[in-house]
Amino acid sequence: MGALLRGFILSVRGRGGWLVVLGAGFSCCLSAAVWIKGGDVSSLAKGESLGGVYRTAGGTRGDALAILAGNGMNLVRLRVWVASPDGFHGSADILPMARRAHALGLRILLTFHYSDTWADPAQQTKPAAWAALSAADLRTAVYSHTYALCAALAAQGTPADYVAVGNEINDGMLWPEGRLSAQGYAFSALAPYLQSGISAVRAASPTTAVVLHIAQGGNWDTVRWWFDGVKSEGVAWDYIGLSYYPYWHGTLAALESTVTQAAEYFQKPVLICETAYPFTLSAGDSQSNIIGLSTQLTAGYPATATGQAQMLRAIFDILDRVPAGRGAGVIYWDATWTVRTGNGWNNIDATSGNNWENQALFDYTGRALAAQAVFAELPALAAPYFSARDMAQTAVCGDLADPDGDGAPNLLELALAADPRVAASRPSVTAQPLALNGDTYFSLIYRRPSAAAGIDYRVFTATTPAGPWLENAIPVGTPLPIGTAQLWTYRGPMQLAPAAAAPAAQFMRIGVTRVPALTLP
Under 8 Å between Cβ of 306 and 370: yes
Which secondary structure element, helix H or strand E, spans residue 512, and what is its range?
strand 507-514
Active-site residue among 48, 274, 377, 413? 274
Q: Which of the residues 168, 357, 377, 413 is marked catalytic?
A: 168
Q: Which residues touch 432 (CB under 8 Å, ≥6 apart)? A: 12, 14, 15, 442, 443, 445
Active site residue 168: yes
Is residue 48 annotated as part of the catalytic site, yes or no?
Answer: no
Give Cα separations from 158 to 53, 94, 201, 320, 505 (angstroms). 26, 11, 14, 28, 53
Residues 6 or more apart whose Cβ sits within 8 Å of residue 219: 249, 250, 254, 258
Q: Give the span between the Cα atoms of 168 and 493, in whole angstroms.
A: 58
**Cα-based distances in Å from 369 to 284, 310, 317:** 15, 12, 19
Alpha carbon distance 368, 382 (integer Å): 26
Distance of CA 520 to the CA centre of its chain: 20
Q: How far, in Å, CA of 262 to CA of 370, rounded?
A: 31
Which sign does the torsion angle of CA 112, 114, 115, 121 carry? negative
CA–CA separation, 175 and 119 (whole Å): 10
Nearest to 258 by CA among 304, 214, 229, 221: 221
Instruction: Count CB-CB contacts under 10 A for residue 497.
Output: 15
Cα angle 15, 18, 20 (rounded to 5 degrees) comes to: 100
Which ranges constitute the DSSP H helices of 383-487? 394-397, 410-415
3-state DSSP helix/strand/coil percent for the chain, to nearest 5?
25, 25, 50
Would you say the C-alpha torsion 469, 471, 472, 476 has a positive or negative sign? positive
Query: Is the CA virtual torsion 358, 453, 328, 208 positive or negative?
Result: positive
> Cis omega before residue 468 (within 30°)?
yes
Catalytic residues: 168, 274
